[in-house]
């Protein structure tokens, strides 16, 4: 493997937006394979009868990030993937689903506000590592769930082609 650099960076137009729109989740075993071309997922093969479940987030309530973890002495590097999301309205159906999310190893695809899709936990999976359910105090407070997912991978999150993302919910 070559470590030769391939490009620089120049400041571009101010046409980027922060935040995420939606999150797609499926247990890790529900994805049979992924195909990557030039650092982009160009195909996802799901196990028979499996489909990603879509979570549409309230505006300005979720984000994902990754942290680069390098150790020069050991010659190692890995990437910590993190997703934070909020789901409004405490209800039994969501309580039961959160229990399943907490037990599962997941592959997560996030749609950002720039219309790009990013896969988290591709090889080693994502895990629900914390969160809260909160009734709120005042009448205008949030009643709902705040969920944190984490996973460590050998690569940063990878972009998923929009045409591939359009098929996430089909079995």
pLDDT along the chain (171 residues), means of 10: 71 80 97 96 96 95 96 95 97 96 98 97 98 96 97 98 96 82
**Distances from the Cα of 118 to the Cαs of 39, 75, 155, in angstroms?**
11, 27, 12
What per-residue confidence (pLDDT) applies to 4? 78
What per-residue confidence (pLDDT) applies to 146? 97
pTM of the predicted model as reported, rounded to 2 decimal places: 0.91
What per-residue confidence (pLDDT) applies to 1? 61
What per-residue confidence (pLDDT) applies to 15? 72
Residue 169 has which token pair?
């919910």
Q: Which residues contact 49 (CB under 8 A, 6 or more apart)?
A: 171
Positive or negative: CA dihedral 6, 9, 15, 19: positive
What per-residue confidence (pLDDT) applies to 43? 97
């Amino acid at each position: 493997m070559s470590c030769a650099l391939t490009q620089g960076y120049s400041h571009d137009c101010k046409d980027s937006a922060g935040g995420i729109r939606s999150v797609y989740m499926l247990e890790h075993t529900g994805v049979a394979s992924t195909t990557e071309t030039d650092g982009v997922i160009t195909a996802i093969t799901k196990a028979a009868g499996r489909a990603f479940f879509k979570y549409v987030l309230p505006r300005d309530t979720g984000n994902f990030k990754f942290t680069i973890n390098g150790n020069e002495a050991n010659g190692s590097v890995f990437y910590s993937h993190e997703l934070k999301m909020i789901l409004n309205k405490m209800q039994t159906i969501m309580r039961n689903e959160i229990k399943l999310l907490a037990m599962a190893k997941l592959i997560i695809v996030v749609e950002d506000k720039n219309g790009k899709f990013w896969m988290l936990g591709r090889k080693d999976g994502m895990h629900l590592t914390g969160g809260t359910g909160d009734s709120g105090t005042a009448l205008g407070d949030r009643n709902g769930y705040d969920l944190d997912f984490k996973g460590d991978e050998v690569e940063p999150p990878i972009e998923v082609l929009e045409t591939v993302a359009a098929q996430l919910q089909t079995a």
